[in-house]
Structure 1
């Protein structure tokens, strides 16, 4: 009897059904399970719940009679209904919790992971061969480029450099409200989306399932066809302008030239190999400069792949890391995405973007939301859970290394060489978010003191022993010692307490 093949909700592309030694049988019937318990365990963003369910139901519609689509309370109940006592295959899930589940089921056979560039064992061999050296992303990225022959001219990186960050860190154009980039691909909702929205309304009304954020028109692809259209739109019209301003922020233009492909990659609608190949093809065809293409390839083949591999390599204990001993709970206004309660324009603007769309690009995540959490000493596990729930592209494997390691420095430097936080001067230089704000980025004290500036110096003061011993942050400690108003700065920060900045 042919084994059924189980597709999780983030395994929706054709590469999860490709037959072979590490795949399901070519004619394997398919099982998909929509488990309401997932939405009871966490209070997800409503737009995220909509996108995941819409994508699953679109995939089921594509598969037609081949799939048994079950709506159940739990995965165990759904699998029992869909497959009975028959054998089931499933590709390695993307979370430890899901892997524990499938391994606990005797009749389920776990196949190798798909949707990433490298098998786990290849990364482990590379990491174990580092002889105690830190697993820096730059070293990993160059290794992947060589191994995958990606953006290479023989043994030489395309354009003669591995890293084009020097061309990709420009502030926004002076005085511009928008980057004036070609518009991104946006899908059209259909009957499946209407059904999903009605079901979510009913779950809230009758089942007590609660969400956060708003569920406006769906902004991200929910099918393979839509995802391919989004990829084409980006590589043909937007990739060329991506690089220079990828770290910049504009209040009226949250998308700028970013690809918006993270949801399609993380739902499994796109394979990262085809995404980076499309970007390289654009460069070789002369449609995009090498610095923009390299910056984008770095995001996919460098950072995304790196985070996926570290999630499994570091082990389950990694989520409990708290090197800075931050314990403060997340305040209610942050949990509720109450942007209107916040005075600081940068934080209010970004929080509103999350509330309304479930998405911002990587710099608002790191240097506004994450930086504020780090400065306030919020519990890194709670911050990780918040990012997981509130972002449409957020999954456990995505957010655990990104938040524990990159954003909150809770691992003490296993991933990064320093904590990523700053005062208002950085935000003022890299955005227009300080324009019209009630606070002044250069003010450390007084009624108009910038919460990021006072927060930064308060953070340096609390952790001066750690920061003084790090060559990349020792100058910040020296700067603190030169401040003539340090006690007033600390008093200003204390008086704010947990009030919205």
Structure 2
């Protein structure tokens, strides 16, 4: 039996063909020298890798080395490895002798099936079309050829603003994680690495995310039983006092390979069929995994290597230091300060703060998409190149001019005011675009539209906003104000 080489994002039992299969695991220190990762991300990755090695015991050979190549020099036997999740790692393994590369695991729709679907489109690729294909292909939430409930998507039902007069959703929080001796060892090693000159961003803190398949499975069960029902209606809502809302907080577990996404989809589907979980919530969770996660994974490989450098809105400004260093205390705008603090303190915020606060602000300011891909990759515990390339370039920054989305995800402060409690107590007014109390998102929205109006493709979804832009009498004042603000923290 060949020895299976497991990367640090291939840690679940579904990456092995036999529970007794011999395993190789290499801890590469050079990975953390190349860029300044969030300290909690580094901790989680190392903790998960070392916990898996401890679980496997004598079945695993664990090598600590400066680089993967250095570690491989200590191994003489033939190896096999599941298709890695980055182009850099794929190039490495494909160029090694005695290494057999197997198809990817940890995703649902195969690269071949996706390519067949995408090739038939001969144009822009859309999540809704892929998601319908995937539901039918994998027979998820279908009754014969028809979707459960008569609709493929309940997204329109899952856009409720947060409940009023409360700072938290009425759901139990995710089960707490208890650190152990392995976590203590990881923390000591990271302290030593920092003393040696390896740099991290963000704050250290107690591990709050799963590092083992058992911890991740317990989180999934708890979510399905106690949080899934509220996830759907409030999945787009934000509360300053409740960063987790009803989200599963399992993205890092899927991306480390601790959980099989198809098994999670089936668990949610079973909750609907056997226990009456709300279909809209179940469908929303399924869409995140079977739909969006698989969509961006497959797009990473389907688009050519140059896609990451797309910048068709000509965004030329460099991401400022206060953003790079997660200096939330420099920011007065309440929503942006709180979300950036969440990245600093946890390396995690849910998908709407990422898209409609962080991504929206960066899009309005015209920051370089490639720098943002790198920032999201480094700063988030669940960030990987395959995750962030299409999410940032295509969805968040619209730098591909609609290869995967129909419109830019840009909005003024009114959206944030409707979907959160951030605007109360903020020094800025979401209704104002000029003056000392002008909301940087509201002013930035009109500045953005003015900057890109000649580049945007004809799009019915943008027509109304562009007509409003033409009627703005104070546009020159808005532009002068925002030029003066520049890239200073708002």
TM range (shorter): over 0.9
Equivalences for 1:29-40 in 2 at 5 Å? 29-40=22-33
**Partner residue in 1 for 2:411:** 422
What's the CA shift for 1:220?
0.5
Q: Normalising by structure 1, report the TM-score.
A: 0.96
**Partner residue in 2 for 1:23:** none
2:92 is aligned with 1:101: yes
2:47 is aligned with 1:54: yes
Distance 1:422 1:45 in 2: 28
2:103 is aligned with 1:112: yes
What's the CA shift for 1:497?
0.9
Q: Is the 8 A contact 2:401 2:456 kept in 1?
A: no
**Partner residue in 2 for 1:176:** 166
Equivalences for 1:350-361 in 2 at 5 Å? 350-361=339-350
Equivalences for 1:73-222 in 2 at 5 Å? 73-81=66-74, 83-84=75-76, 86-130=77-121, 132-206=122-196, 208-222=197-211
Could you report, residue by residue, the CA deviation over 1:254-313 in whole angstroms, capped at 9, with x for unpaired residues? 100000111111000000110000000111123410000001100000000101010000
2:455 is aligned with 1:466: yes
Cα gap change, 1:319 to 1:227, in 2 (>3 Å): same
**Partner residue in 2 for 1:383:** 372
What's the CA shift for 1:3?
2.7
Distance 1:290 1:94 in 2: 32
**What's the secondary structure of 2:454's corresponding residue?**
helix
What's the CA shift for 1:350?
0.1
Q: Runs of 5+ in structure 1 lacking a partner? A: 20-25
**Partner residue in 1 for 2:6:** 7
Could you report, residue by residue, the CA deviation over 1:312-357 in whole angstroms, capped at 9, with x for unpaired residues? 0002111111110111111110000000000100000000000000
Q: Is the 8 A contact 2:336 2:357 kept in 1?
A: yes
Q: Normalising by structure 2, report the TM-score.
A: 0.99
Cα gap change, 1:195 to 1:287, in 2 (>3 Å): farther
CA RMSD of aligned residues (A): 1.0
Q: Is the 8 A contact 2:26 2:62 kept in 1?
A: yes
**What's the secondary structure of 1:466's corresponding residue?**
coil
Distance 2:149 2:176 in 1: 32
Range with bigger deviation, 472-481 or 370-379: 472-481
- After the TM superposition, which parts of structure 1 deviate over 6 Å for at least 4 consecutive aligned residues? none
What's the CA shift for 1:468?
6.9
Q: Is the 8 A contact 1:236 1:287 kept in 2?
A: no
Q: Is the 8 A contact 2:327 2:340 kept in 1?
A: yes
Distance 2:85 2:175 in 1: 27
Distance 1:175 1:466 in 2: 43
Range with bigger deviation, 384-393 or 171-180: 171-180
What's the CA shift for 1:384?
0.5
Distance 1:241 1:293 in 2: 10
Could you report, residue by residue, the CA deviation over 1:144-178 in whole angstroms, capped at 9, with x for unpaired residues? 00011101122221111111112100111122211
Q: Runs of 5+ in structure 2 lacking a partner? A: none
Distance 2:282 2:137 in 1: 18
Could you report, residue by residue, the CA deviation over 1:400-448 in whole angstroms, capped at 9, with x for unpaired residues? 0000000001111101011101000110011011110011001110011
Distance 2:212 2:109 in 1: 24
Q: Is the 8 A contact 1:460 1:467 kept in 2?
A: no
**Partner residue in 1 for 2:284:** 295
